Amino acid sequence: MSDVTIYWRPGCVFCMRLENALGASRNKATWRNIWEDDEAREFVAMVNDGNEIVPTVVIDGRPHTNPDPVLVARALKG
């Protein structure tokens, strides 16, 4: 299993799509709400040219902006 951190915010339809697609494996990831975590918000902006685009998913240290849920599911399953 890979190290997976998912940066998200409430109301984001793309975040909800990712969460639903991951099913029970979503609990294997670390979820960080950019509206409640300033460090998370700053990180997302840094890797997205100043934009707070979510979901931003970091898999083994590599950020992916709004990735295909299949990529994240594979990383969580190993």
pLDDT at 1 (0 to 100):
61
pTM given for the model:
0.95
Q: Would residue 75 be called left, alpha or beta, if left means φ above 0 and alpha means ψ between -120 and 50 degrees?
A: alpha
Report yes or no: 40 and 7 within 8 Å, Cβ to Cβ. Answer: yes
When the candidates are 3.40.980.10, 3.60.20.10, 3.40.30.10, 3.30.1240.10, the CATH number that belongs to 4-77 is 3.40.30.10
Q: What is the pLDDT along the chain (78 residues), one digit of tens a residue?
A: 679 999 999 999 999 999 999 999 999 999 999 999 999 999 999 999 999 999 999 999 999 999 999 999 999 997
pLDDT at 78 (0 to 100):
75
- Domain residue extents for the chain: 4-77
pLDDT at 20 (0 to 100):
96
